[in-house]
Structure 1
Amino acid sequence: MSITPQVSLTAKLTINTDDHRPPTKDAVVPGPAPTPRELKVHPTNPGGENATLTFVGTATTLLEWRGLRIMTDPNFLHAGDHVHLGPGVTAQRLTNPSVSIDELPPIHLVLLSHYHEDHFDKLVEDRLRRDLPIISTPHAKHHLAEAQAKDEPFVTVTALDTWQAADIHAVGAAGDANLKVIAMPGKHLPPGILDMVNSALGAGIPPTNGWMVELLGEGGKTFRIYISGDTLMVDDLKSIPEKFPHVDLMLIHLGGTSIPGPNLPLLMVTMDADQGIQLVHLINPDVTIPIHYDDYDAFKSPLKDFQDLVTEAGLDKKVVYLNRGDQYAFKI
């Protein structure tokens, strides 16, 4: 018999959404909110939209609600740039983000699934404001805030391990916003000897979180957004629907990322189309939005493969596809 995991509250954060400073430490004037290239809404139940999700590229999105702007997995390299993913493992970016890091509007919180350069690149690490609140893994906190080699550490990093949570209260002229961020299970490597060796030796594949973001709407109703993070379809994920039987929106990381390189794809470390559709069936969200699917040459599973499986499963009206720069507006 499976046991539903308990969520433990480990942190409380208060955020002032009237803080309009730019997210980068060297910018003078913050940019405006990006204008969406295309605006999309709920495929079967539109109306009353009061929140938005903008897809920037890779796993980078901007979630906006009641004056609060949350950025996920910031990656602002451009086509032709390379990232280091572990000893002897690199990947080349094939696309451009929809906005540059200098064009970002004020950001109030960063959700970082794990400390990997295609999710938190060298440009981002150098440029982000050091007091910008970040929620991530204990491993990422060590590298961002505690490592002795850091000349200029990040000073507001909250570490959450699986099933730990942070309560967030945002205040500002746009009104109060109350939400909870809960760390979800995720595995960048398949269970077994490789995972154990990687963990023991620190071989370059970092631990990763998914996120459940619970937004408290009108009348005490909770709107849930599940962000898968870079995970494979592992047994640990089966606990999620036990604890959260209803999910309103899922952002699923796809791509079938393969290492050590594009010419030698020996090991898959993120979900491909087949695993992605399995996760859709497991979580059964009201709406799914795929991200992280074609930005690097290490991504070997085309989005088209996932689209075909969605159609085959009769789920076309439950999936919204965003190109970089597109925005999804929804009701909380």
Structure 2
Amino acid sequence: MKIRLIRNATLKLDYAGRTILIDPYFAPRHSLPSYTGKSKNPLVELRLPVDEILSGVDLVIISHLHSDHFDSVAKERVPKTLPILCQPGDEEKIRAAGFADVTPLTDDITWNGITITRREGSHGLGPVQEAMGSVMGISVEAVGEPHLYWLGDTVLYPPVLEVIERTQPDVIVSHSCGAYWGKDLIVMDAAETVALCEAAPFATVIATHMEALDHATVSRSDLRAAADDAAIAPSRMIIPADGEEIILTAAR
């Protein structure tokens, strides 16, 4: 398995002979509105040309329709013939953007020998959940590959911990920028990411979704410092730079 962090939540995953693009967000730096009044978004440019990001992609997964996960540039640039998996309820809006092969992921699906399972997420807790709307994570499994659990835009809450305990993934990808909507945490922060590592001592955690949006409160250096304070080794919590590739083999 090879994971390449593109920027924010966008990942390019080479897995079992196929290439999957997750949550394409291609907007140029400062081309979208601010969330907090601090800065226009995104805060940084893509490290790779969009054509290179899209090269070889066989499947696109869109976890939800927030603009930092599927933006207007992605709607224009992602080939309309590529198959797309999305959460139930988003399929008609994606089809309306011209995409021909859109499948809502209600439970699990096996595609080219890869099993992709929908997982619940909570984009914050309490009243902010309604404002943020529904989101999903995914588990990805195939013979001879690490079992991957991509959490998506969620805080650390009991259903996530239950999936980890029950399925024991080899690799967990978290969104760890500590973004807030008003006074409410809407994705994991440093403390929750440390707790995630402690809850999954058998897994490698890859922390993403940092240093790209103006409502984030946790930087890569903040998270590394928190991990160091908790005696979590860099091999257990990987914090990739934008454009960085990580290669992992099946652990068990």
Same fold, judged at TM 0.5 (above): yes
Distance in 2 between residues matched to 1:155 and 1:179, nearest whole Å = 21
CA contact (8 A) 1:139 1:206 kept: no
Greater shift, 287-296 or 90-99, is seen at 90-99
Q: Indicate the residue corresponding to 1:168 in structure 2.
A: 111
**Relative contact order (alpha carbons < 8 A, sep ≥ 6): 1 or 2 greater?**
1
TM-score, scaled relative to structure 1: 0.69
CA contact (8 A) 1:83 1:118 kept: no
Distance in 2 between residues matched to 1:215 and 1:282, nearest whole Å = 24
Q: Report how many aligned residue pairs link the two structures.
A: 246
Q: Indicate the residue corresponding to 1:280 in structure 2.
A: 197
Cα RMSD after superposing both structures:
2.2
Distance in 2 between residues matched to 1:84 and 1:124, nearest whole Å = 19
C-alpha displacement of 1:189 = 2.4
Distance in 2 between residues matched to 1:65 and 1:210, nearest whole Å = 17
Q: Indicate the residue corresponding to 2:156 in structure 1.
A: 233
Matched ranges for 1:47-66 at <5 A: 51-66=1-16
Q: Indicate the residue corresponding to 1:153 in structure 2.
A: 98
TM-score, scaled relative to structure 2: 0.89
Q: Per the alignment, in what secondary structure is the counterpart of residue 89 of structure 2? A: helix
Q: Indicate the residue corresponding to 2:166 in structure 1.
A: 243
C-alpha displacement of 1:84 = 8.1
C-alpha displacement of 1:83 = 5.2
Dislocated runs of 4+, deviation >4 Å: none
Distance in 2 between residues matched to 1:274 and 1:83, nearest whole Å = 28
> Percent of aligned positions with the same letter in both sequences?
23
Unaligned stretches of 5+ in structure 1?
Answer: 1-50, 170-177, 260-264
CA contact (8 A) 2:146 2:248 kept: no
Q: What is the one-letter code of the residue matched to 2:140? A: V
Does the alignment pair 1:179 with 2:109? no
Q: What is the one-letter code of the residue matched to 1:160? A: L
Seen in structure 2, the aligned counterparts of structure 1 residues 75 and 285 have a Cα distance that, compared at 3 Å, is farther
Does the alignment pair 1:118 with 2:68? yes
In structure 1, which of residues 134, 158, 176 is the aligned counterpart of residue 84 of structure 2? Answer: 134
In structure 2, which of residues 168, 173, 179 is the aligned counterpart of residue 257 of structure 1? Answer: 179
Residues 237-266 of structure 1: per-residue CA shift (max 9 Å, x gap): 23212420x22111111111122xxxxx42
Q: Indicate the residue corresponding to 1:270 in structure 2.
A: 187
Q: What is the one-letter code of the residue matched to 1:252? A: S
Q: Indicate the residue corresponding to 1:108 in structure 2.
A: 58
C-alpha displacement of 1:59 = 0.9
Structure with greater Cα Rg = 1
Seen in structure 2, the aligned counterparts of structure 1 residues 84 and 296 have a Cα distance that, compared at 3 Å, is closer
Distance in 2 between residues matched to 1:206 and 1:187, nearest whole Å = 9
